């Protein structure tokens, strides 16, 4: 039997992120198929109780690396601790989330372990012990299935919001193993000077269930207020296209697209967004896409499940009122 399927859970501010539960659900499924044990790794400070929230999602073992030096995510420190742990136990498969943090950590970790890495994956399957990962290429125009045939561990990072969550089973148990943390001097070169927290209260775009985004058609920063009002009604986060960000109307943290965030909400409402390939690469896998644009030939309509041709400043307030009626 191979040495198991591992996930590297992601936490922020001492709270596990949704992608951690998605990874756990997927790893449990793969472990059941292959007969391998499933282990989760959680790094942080005072993180032991939070790590136990993964138990209902199926890990047989939870490795907890708890140390004040791991309180905030520092790439080198996290990579060093994980490298030592993986070399010691030699898991066959290691999965991470393809968030901003996860992508960086996965790349550094794969380099240290001298193994391959499939980034931004949307699904996994096992074939004769090989992890077959499906990932988009050329801004989502095609999908490729890739595998790491020789090097171990097999590593992959999964796009948030694409893996299905299993129902948590409260009767499950897991062995919790405390990991001795020894951070090497070469892994302490970076110091976190300041952390700027998002105080909006809205879900991060990569984890949002609903997103309302604006593009060049918004015309000015203050006009995003109409999208904020709609978002408040449906519990959505607000995004923006690259053109809106480049114009200074929204911060880069709101940018959806190939050079921004890749999102996969249940519903994506694109307002005044033409649908450039760069933007489609960031939201094309959304489960339902609604487009509002006054140009009937806008490329976004080719991707949209529902399209409304008209002035967004007339249509969005109507959508807001209709959603209010439905949700009340």
Q: What is the DSSP string of 269-303?
A: EEES----HHHHHHHTT-SEEEEEES-TT-THHHH
* Residue ranges matching CATH 3.40.50.1220 in the chain: 205-327
pLDDT tens-digit profile of 174-232? 999 998 888 888 887 888 888 777 666 677 888 889 999 999 999 999 999 999 999 99
Output the pLDDT for position 198.
67
pLDDT tens-digit profile of 264-279? 899 999 999 998 888 9
pLDDT tens-digit profile of 159-176? 888 888 899 999 999 999
For the chain, give the percent of residues with pLDDT over 90.
69
Output the pLDDT for position 144.
92
Superfamily of structural domain 5-187: HUPs (3.40.50.620)
Output the pLDDT for position 328.
85
Q: Is the pLDDT of residue 71 over 50?
A: yes
Superfamily of structural domain 205-327: TPP-binding domain (3.40.50.1220)
Average pLDDT value for the chain: 91
pLDDT tens-digit profile of 25-51? 999 999 999 899 999 999 999 999 999
Output the pLDDT for position 268.
96
pLDDT bucket at 1, cuts 50 / 70 / 90: very low
DSSP-based three-state secondary structure for 120: strand
pLDDT tens-digit profile of 116-153? 999 989 999 999 889 999 998 877 778 899 898 888 99
* Residue ranges matching CATH 3.40.50.620 in the chain: 5-187
Q: Which residues contact 277 (CB under 8 A, 6 or more apart)?
A: 139, 258, 299
For residue 240, give Cα distances in angstroms to 59, 190, 196, 222.
Answer: 37, 31, 20, 13
Give 189 or 289, the one with higher predicted confidence. 289
């Amino acid at each position: 039997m191979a040495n198991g399927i591992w996930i590297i859970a992601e936490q922020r501010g001492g709270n596990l992120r949704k992608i951690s539960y998605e990874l756990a659900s997927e790893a449990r499924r793969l472990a059941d198929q292959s007969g391998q044990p499933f282990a989760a790794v959680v790094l942080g400070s005072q993180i032991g109780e939070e790590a136990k929230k993964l138990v209902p999602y199926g890990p047989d073992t939870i490795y907890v690396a708890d140390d004040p030096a791991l309180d905030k995510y520092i790439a080198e420190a996290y990579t060093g601790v994980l490298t030592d742990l993986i070399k010691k136990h030699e898991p066959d498969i290691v999965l991470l989330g393809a968030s901003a943090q996860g992508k960086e950590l996965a790349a550094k970790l794969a380099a240290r372990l001298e193994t391959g890495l499939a980034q931004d994956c949307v699904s996994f399957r096992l074939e004769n012990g090989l992890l077959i990962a499906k990932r988009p290429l050329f801004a989502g125009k095609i999908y490729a299935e890739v595998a790491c045939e020789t090097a171990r561990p097999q590593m992959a990072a999964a796009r948030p919001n694409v893996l299905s969550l299993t129902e948590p089973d409260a009767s499950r148990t897991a062995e919790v193993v405390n990991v001795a943390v020894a951070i090497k001097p070469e892994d302490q070169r970076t110091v976190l000077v300041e952390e700027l927290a998002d105080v909006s209260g809205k879900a991060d775009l990569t984890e949002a269930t609903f997103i309302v985004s604006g593009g060049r058609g918004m015309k000015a920063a203050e006009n995003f207020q109409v999208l904020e009002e709609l978002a408040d009604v449906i519990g959505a986060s607000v995004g923006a296209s690259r053109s809106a960000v480049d114009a200074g109307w929204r911060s880069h943290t709101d940018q959806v697209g190939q050079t921004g965030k890749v999102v996969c909400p249940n519903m994506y409402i694109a307002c005044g967004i033409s649908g450039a390939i760069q933007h489609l690469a960031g939201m094309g896998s959304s489960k339902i896409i609604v487009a509002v644009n006054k140009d009937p030939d806008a490329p976004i309509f080719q991707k949209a499940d529902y399209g409304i041709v008209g002035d967004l400043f007339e249509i969005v307030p109507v959508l807001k009122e209709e959603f209010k009626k439905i949700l009340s």
